[in-house]
Homo-oligomer: A and B are copies of this chain.
Amino acid sequence: MARIFVTGAAGFIGSTLVDRLLSEGQEVVGYDNFSTGREEFVQKALACPGYSLVRADVLDPFALTQAMRGASEVWHLSANADVRFGLSHPRKDLEQNTLATSNVLEAMRHNGIRDIFFSSTGSVYGEATVFPTPEEAPFPVQTSLYAASKLAGEALISSYCQGYGFRGLVFRFVSMLGERYSHGHVFDFVRHLLKEPGRLPVLGDGGQRKSYLYVGDCVEAMLLARKNMSEGFDVYNLGTDGYCTVMDSIGWITGLMGLCPRLEFSGGQRGWVGDNPFIFLATGKIRALGWDNALSIRQGVERTVGWLLDSRWVMGEG
């Protein structure tokens, strides 16, 4: 019987994956320190008999090793996902992404578990020169501490596959949207417009192109890749075949909210230092397995706005 261990189980993507696995009748152990995870996101899972939740930190190797006992595979989805403020605390990405991944791998090794699934990011391609960017793009130069720490996590996983016979799948994500989405552009825009419907500050010039994927489509893609897993290490880009500009998403958001705010641009091509002006991933590899996104980018944005408007507690300051 499979017993699936999920780090970041109270997070946006982790909790969505957990609910999906439980709906199949799988046994799941969630692990989260609730630093950014939300109690509300685990309520549904906690009602399932096949679920158990451990409240602990991936930086605690003892708790992690113990909690993982008896698991058959590990989905390592916990991360510091606060890309934008990486420069304010340069050790945070290193600790919460790179060291944490090393801890997860060591805990697996000590428990005899060898299958790992890892959420990485399309920002590991740095300033990509090829669009859409394929998995085997030219050797990238990292432009953020976040991407650097995720690349280091990927590299650890592939080394464990080579050295210890692990099997690993790495998923490089575009930005995710959907129910339980709780940080990023769309979140910031909706929250601001609820407070101040007449104006909207926009980082950069609004021309930044963004590719989004609906979280439900992401989970289906990951489970399909797992079903087709072979020995060793592999990488899949996960995204949609298109992109939008920040201006597009502002139009969809304000349209749904029935608002017509004055837009105030901070200017420049980037939202912040290290912000990637454009992440647009080639997804032919995952599509070759038969996957397709059910929701378009626009549908993903609109569904997210609808959920945020129904879930205003997630935007509270507390």
Chain A interface (Cβ within 8 Å of chain B)? 86-87, 90-91, 94, 98-99, 102, 105-106, 109, 125-126, 135-145, 147-149, 151-152, 154-156, 158-160, 162-164, 233, 235, 273-274
Contacts and interface: CB of A to CB of B under 8 A. Distances in A.
Contacts of A87: 163-164
How many subunits of this chain does the assembly comprise?
2
Contact of A94 (B86, B142, B156): B156
Contacts of A274: 159, 162-163
Contact of A148 (B99, B125, B137, B152): B152
Nearest to A126: B158
Contacts of A164: 87
Contact of A98 (B86, B109, B152, B162): B152
A161 to B, nearest CB: 9
Contacts of A106: 90-91
Contacts of A126: 158
B136 A138 contact: yes
Instruction: Report which residue of A90, A105, A106, A274 has the largest number of chain B beta carbons within 10 angstroms of its beta carbon.
Output: A90
Contacts of A94: 98-99, 102, 156
A150 to B, nearest CB: 9
25 contacts: A86-B159, A86-B163, A87-B163, A90-B106, A90-B160, A98-B152, A99-B99, A125-B139, A136-B138, A136-B139, A137-B138, A138-B138, A138-B139, A139-B140, A141-B158, A141-B233, A142-B158, A143-B162, A144-B162, A144-B163, A148-B155, A148-B156, A148-B158, A162-B273, A162-B274
Nearest to A148: B155
A249 to B, nearest CB: 25
A145 B156 contact: yes
Contact of A159 (B99, B143, B160): B143
Contacts of A139: 125, 135-140
A111 to B, nearest CB: 15
Which 6 pairs from chain A and chain B are nearest by CB?
A: A152-B152, A148-B155, A142-B155, A136-B138, A148-B159, A143-B162
A140 B87 CA distance: 26
A145 to B, nearest CB: 5
A86 B233 CA distance: 19
Instruction: Report which residue of A105, A135, A138 has the largest number of chain B beta carbons within 10 angstroms of its beta carbon.
Output: A138
